[in-house]
Amino acid sequence: MAEAASQDATGGASLFPFDNTYARLPERFFTKLDPTPVQAPNLLLLNEELARELGLDPAFLRSAEGAQVLGGNRIPEGAEPLAMAYAGHQFGGWVPQLGDGRAVLLGEVVDRNGVRRDIQLKGSGPTPYSRMGDGRAALGPVLREYIVSEAMAAFGIPTTRSLAVVTTGEAVFRERALPGGILTRIARSHIRVGTFQFFAARRDTEALRLLADHVIDRHYPDLRQAGNPYSALLDAVAGRQAELIAAWMSVGFIHGVMNTDNMSVAGDTIDYGPCAFMDTYHPGTVYSSIDHGGRYAYGNQPGIAHWNLACLAQCLLPLIDESEEKALEAAQEIINTFPDRFRAAHTRRFAAKLGLGTVRDGDADLIDGLLKAMEEGKADFTLTFRGLSDLSGEGTADGAVRGLFEEPAAFDAWAPAWRARLAEAGRDDTARQAAMRAINPVYIPRNHQVEAALNAAVENNDLEPLHDLRAVLQTPFEAQAGQERYELPPRPEEEVKATFCGT
């Protein structure tokens, strides 16, 4: 029988330096409850570097007692477990109540850099927001989130982090019985656009103000000095989202479910479900098995972020101004800036990927020209940009990159304009190539390699492919001897054409 969740009095669990703030908000923001105990929690993965950053003791987390905490069977001293309430638009359809249906926020810690971080158990059992679900997670999706979120962190892209994975000793039932897992997820917060929507739908202006003040204090403290902190908050969130989506697209990432309840107001990537990275470049690429219409395709992500921000703006109207007309005018002015802000961020990112240095007029067209050539030539996204990092400005030895295009003529037509732009920039080839290699990864979590590692772990209890893949992705910008297979796109029989959310 599973041990009942209990406060641990042995002293080890008190090593979590909790300093909770969200739990101080009114009770309508959440439901307080403990995780549901599991049969036999066993630590499978531990991110020791992240543990130390959080001020946690890796040795304790690796102990049997630590596994009990990470599995939800013991509640560490100072924790105040709760499931957060929120709403959201899912694939454009309004759902007035969602919330943490399979996750419990244990509490918050202030890390060694002075940053407040949530510690959440994902897959920790049913909550009042589970909507008839079991509140559990299968091991495969838990491992996928661990791999991809940590790869995103290695790319330097704002993201939630993964501290640990435990197996539960219990099966979860989806299409078939699968081993269960729990992810310990770390985030600057778990507050979403959907959190604001939850209270806006209930016309609870007091709660909206409390939530907005909490977000400002936690994520945007400088806005306290703004003439209108709430319009400034909308503007700041829009700015971070423009930068985030541009960063995603610069590594070929497709989130898969950009619902408003999956959009963090902190500007971090959150909720890795049917996410994937492109192999062959095409802006219409979709992997999610449930995205039948391509709503969240690679190229649609900026527009969806814009739409989600408009939903946030609608929530903030009562705070921006008592006059609905004035509030609408102020919010619309901010929202209308998003396309240009995204485009500027996208151009900066891709200009750096092309080694252009500072952005000049015409660079956006040069970038678009390459992407169009890649689309027509069915070129691999990651290999193309990495290959360009190795080319000289003299127009010689282009064969490795040309060979990535089914029709190299498209690349041949584009390359002279790129080299002319490099000549204008006047950068030394060696310095430029080094700068390009520092932003164009050699390795990404390619879908076929992720699936192979997950299948080995889940089906055969073989963790070696998982550990090998994780090790390569820890330094994705450095070519690693003997790891060439992780650079390669899938052979036709290896292609993964659909990914799943794992709920």
User: Do 87 and 96 touch, CB atoms closer than 8 A?
Assistant: yes
User: Do 163 and 67 touch, CB atoms closer than 8 A?
Assistant: no
Q: In the numeric block, which tokens belong to residue 496?
A: 């993964």
- What are the backbone angles phi and psi of residue 412, rounded to the nearest 5°? -60, -35
Is 264 in a helix, a strand, or coil?
Answer: strand
Is 208 in a helix, a strand, or coil?
Answer: helix
Q: Give the residue from 149, 165, 189 where a domain finishes.
A: 189
Question: Quick check: 479 pLDDT over 60?
Answer: yes
- The H or E element spanning position 161 is strand 161-173
Q: Which residues of 468-494 are buried (b: 16+ CB within 10 A; e: fewer)?
A: ebbebbeebbeeeeeeeebbebbeeee
Question: Quick check: 3 pLDDT over 70?
Answer: no
Are residues 400 and 304 part of one domain? Answer: no
Backbone angle region of 286, left / alpha / beta, with phi > 0 → left and psi within -120 to 50 → alpha: beta
- Within-domain flag for 277: yes
Q: In the numeric block, which tokens belong to residue 162?
A: 């993964």
- Within-domain flag for 454: no
- Within-domain flag for 200: yes
One-letter amino acid identity for 479?
A
Considering only CA atoms, which of 107, 320, 118, 20 is closest in space to residue 200?
320
Are residues 103 and 26 part of one domain? Answer: yes
One-letter amino acid identity for 430?
T
Question: Quick check: 202 pLDDT over 90?
Answer: yes
Its pTM stands at 0.94
Question: Quick check: 15 pLDDT over 90?
Answer: no
Considering only CA atoms, which of 285, 309, 310 is closest in space to residue 296?
285
Tell the residue number behind the tokens 């008190």, with chain if given.
Answer: 14
3-state helix, strand, coil in the chain (%, to 5): 45, 15, 40
- Within-domain flag for 461: no
Are residues 35 and 181 part of one domain? Answer: yes
User: Do 22 and 82 touch, CB atoms closer than 8 A?
Assistant: yes
**Residue 5, pLDDT score:** 45
- Within-domain flag for 451: no
Confidence bin at 13 (pLDDT 50/70/90): very low
pLDDT in tens, 417-441: 999 999 999 889 999 999 999 999 9
Are residues 210 and 101 part of one domain? Answer: no
Are residues 15 and 65 part of one domain? Answer: yes
Is 499 in a helix, a strand, or coil?
Answer: strand
Q: Number of folded domains in the chain?
A: 3
Are residues 310 and 255 part of one domain? Answer: yes
- Within-domain flag for 489: no
One-letter amino acid identity for 39?
Q
Are residues 150 and 20 part of one domain? Answer: yes
Could you tell me which residues are beta bridge partners of residue 187?
118
Q: Give the residue from 130, 155, 189 where a domain finishes.
A: 189
**Residue 336, pLDDT score:** 98
DSSP H helical segments within 276-337, as ranges?
Answer: 301-320, 324-335
Range of the domain at 390: 354-437
Considering only CA atoms, which of 375, 376, 371 is closest in space to residue 388?
371
User: Do 228 and 327 touch, CB atoms closer than 8 A?
Assistant: no
**Residue 500, pLDDT score:** 78
**Residue 503, pLDDT score:** 53
User: How much is the average pLDDT of 27-48?
Assistant: 97
Q: Give the residue from 189, 222, 244 where a domain finishes.
A: 189
User: How much is the average pLDDT of 185-189?
Assistant: 98
Confidence bin at 9 (pLDDT 50/70/90): very low
Considering only CA atoms, which of 220, 225, 313 is closest in space to residue 263?
313
- Within-domain flag for 471: no
Are residues 225 and 91 part of one domain? Answer: no
Are residues 282 and 408 part of one domain? Answer: no
Cα-to-chain-centroid distance, residue 88? 18
Percent of the chain at pLDDT exceeding 90? 90
User: Do 79 and 107 touch, CB atoms closer than 8 A?
Assistant: yes
**Residue 502, pLDDT score:** 63
Note if 261 is an active site residue.
Answer: yes
Are residues 279 and 212 part of one domain? Answer: yes
Across all residues in the chain, what is the average pLDDT? 94
Residue 380 DSSP symbol:
B
**Residue 394, pLDDT score:** 80
- Within-domain flag for 312: yes
User: Do 444 and 121 touch, CB atoms closer than 8 A?
Assistant: no
The Cβ-side half-sphere exposure at 365, using a 13 Å CA radius, reads: 5
Which one from 100, 261, 279, 380 is the annotated catalytic residue? 261
Are residues 385 and 254 part of one domain? Answer: no
Are residues 414 and 373 part of one domain? Answer: yes
CA distance 343 to 365: 12
Considering only CA atoms, which of 135, 133, 99, 105 is closest in space to residue 120?
105
CA distance 190 to 118: 7
